[in-house]
Amino acid sequence: MKPSRRDFLKKASIAGVALAAPHLWLPVTREAWGATLNKGEPIKVGLLFSLTGGLAVPEEDSTLVMQYAIDEINAAGGIAGSPIEPVIVDAKSDFNVYSEKAKELILRNKVIALFGCYTSASRKAILPTVMSQNHLLYYPTCYEGAECTQNTICTGPLANQHSKDLIPFMVEKFGKKVFFVGSNYVWPKESNKNAKIWLQNAGGELLGEEYIPLGSSEFGPVLNKIRQAKPDFIFSTVVGASDIAFHKQFKQEGFKVDEMPIASLTTGEIETKAMGNEFGAGHFLSAPYFQNLESPTNAKFVESFLKSKYGKNGTTHYNMEETYLSAYVFKAGIEKAIAQFGVEEVTPRKIRDVSGGIKVSADISPEGEIWIDEQNFNTWLVPKIGQCQADGSFKIVKTASEHVAPDPYSIYADIGKCSANGLVAPDGKVRKNVI
């Protein structure tokens, strides 16, 4: 029996503040009122990315490629005969706007799922609403882990799927002395906790660690510290417009990429295009996807997307490809939920609960076959390392020999293990919605 509006108004509660503290437990209330499907009617999804501000460089492409994927799916018949209808929002690179618009998309627009965010700060800003409404967020980029919710599906890599390979690779190729630079929020800091362990295991030495306000473009003081420390390479978790400024000032200050390259988790083809190829050339990125990846599926994806009305920025990159994959994970999940429950009984939470084990095959996925972990709902993928070339493309210099399982608690074994029903502590106790 469907809940009445009176029941909803009486029982539903929305937490509207951004939470940055790790391992915070939040209770689930109930399913979002009205977030259901009706046979033959459009399936509404919310696209919650920044089209303006400092995060627009990667996030505009996420909005564009989601529209491309939706058009592609709709042209092939949609889902169970219904088209997907995107509700597009500009989060304006403002965490308060992410939070406000997430509530609107869920409660006013009654979308069945959200696709959104690039930073962990914006993800954590909307998760209280997503979880209190027992809704569903597809988070389509890399993140730090140390999170176990029952309302998210993630299609990007975790720390054990990129920096775990990148750090020892750089130590072997360039030397043991490293300087960490990141944007000042939860993802860089938590990612660097992982990176420090990989660095220690590789016999490396951390010379310094600096964080820049998100959106800042002033790197003079940090570069002065790097000049004094003389590391063999820089490990960067700087994001958005700040990332572009960092690479440009690195070269303008006279640093030589062959003597001290930057190894990044974020600087891909779109950032390189925005900064100018000469500022990206020679540096490294760890990601599961690069535009130059050789496969018939990727060649078709790159050509078709760039020729489409959505390919205006002239390149593909890891973040948009992971967003593209999230559309097909959603399609498979909703089809599975419809088959199991019937169209009108499908809810956001039911889509999530049937999505464990879903695969996106190599004839659809540009990076090759991937699948959703049955317990933590992150993605099994093949990590890769690329070096930026003079033309802004990336040459893949290392590829993992097999798919790597996502492990959100890879350095926190004492905290527990993420399962489909919650975080299972060593003593067997289960906590739901840990962020």
Summarised one tens digit per residue, pLDDT across range 108-119 is 999 999 999 999
What would the two tokens of residue 84 be? Answer: 């997907």
pLDDT at 35: 66
Residue 2 clears pLDDT 60, i.e. is over it: no
For 26: left if phi > 0, alpha if psi spans -120 to 50, otherwise beta; the answer is beta
The DSSP symbol for 33 reads T
Q: What is the pLDDT of residues 13-42, one digit of tens each?
A: 333 333 333 333 334 444 544 567 888 899
Question: 80: which residues sit within 8 A by CB, 6+ positions away?
Answer: 39, 334, 335, 338, 343
| Residue 215 to residue 184: CA distance in whole angstroms | 9
CA atoms within a 13 Å half-sphere pointing along the CA-CB vector of 115: 35
pLDDT in tens, 168-190: 999 999 999 999 999 999 999 99
264-275: per-residue pLDDT in tens? Answer: 999 999 999 999
pLDDT, one tens digit per residue, over 227-272 is 999 999 999 999 999 999 999 999 999 999 999 999 999 999 999 9
Write the pLDDT tens digit of every residue in 86-131.
Answer: 999 999 999 999 999 999 999 999 999 999 999 999 999 999 999 9
Direct distance between the N- and C-terminal alpha carbons of the chain, in angstroms, rounded to an integer: 31
CB-based contact 360:385 (threshold 8 Å):
no
Mean pLDDT value of segment 133-139:
97
Residue 152's Cα: distance from chain center in Å? 11
Q: Which residues pair with 387 in a beta bridge?
A: 284, 395
Give whole-number Cα distances, 395 to 122, 293, 333, 390, in Å: 31, 9, 34, 10
In this predicted structure, the answer to whether residue 12 has a pLDDT above a threshold of 60 is no
The distance from CA 1 to its chain's CA centroid, rounded to whole angstroms, is 36
**Nearest 5 degrees, angle CA 215-CA 221-CA 224?**
135
350 touches 337 (CB < 8 A) = yes
**Using alpha carbons only, how large is the chain's radius of gyration in Å?**
21
Question: Does residue 176 contact residue 206 with C-beta atoms inside 8 Å?
Answer: no
DSSP assignments along 196-259, one per residue: HHHHHHTT-EEEEEEEE-TT----HHHHHHHHHH--SEEEEE--HHHHHHHHHHHHHTT--TTT
The answer to whether 178 and 234 have CB atoms below 8 angstroms apart is: yes
The stretch 416-427 carries a mean pLDDT of: 96
Quick one: how many helices (H) and strands (E) in the chain? 13, 18
- pLDDT tens digits for range 348-367: 999 999 999 999 999 999 99
Which one-letter DSSP state was computed for residue 419? Answer: E
CATH of 5-157+296-382+412-431, one of 3.40.50.11540, 3.40.50.2300, 3.40.50.720, 3.60.21.10: 3.40.50.2300
Mean model confidence pLDDT for the chain? 92
Q: Token pair 């399936």 is at which residue?
A: 43
CA distances from 325 to 65, 115, 155, 200, 318 (A): 10, 11, 7, 34, 11
Neighbours of 177 (CB within 10 A): 17
Q: What is the mean pLDDT of residues 331-337?
A: 98
Which residues on adjacent β-strands are paired with residue 399? 384
Common-topology check for domains 5-157+296-382+412-431 and 163-264: yes
Q: Residue 13: left (phi > 0), alpha (psi -120 to 50), or beta? A: beta
Pick 163-264's CATH classification: 3.90.1150.10, 3.40.50.10490, 3.40.50.2300, 3.10.129.10: 3.40.50.2300
DSSP string, 265-316: SS--HHHHHHH-HHHHTT-EEEES--TT--SHHHHHHHHHHHHSTT-TT---
For residue 50, give every residue at least 6 positions away whose Cβ sits within 8 Å of its Cβ, in sequence order, or none: 56, 59, 60, 90, 91, 92, 93, 118
Domains in the chain: boundaries = 5-157+296-382+412-431, 163-264
Any residues with CB less than 8 A from the CB of 339 and at least 6 apart, and which? none
- Contact between 324 and 366 under an 8 Å Cβ cutoff? The reply is yes
If we measure between CA atoms, which residue out of 143, 145, 195 comes closest to residue 171?
A: 195
Which residue has better confidence, 221 or 34?
221
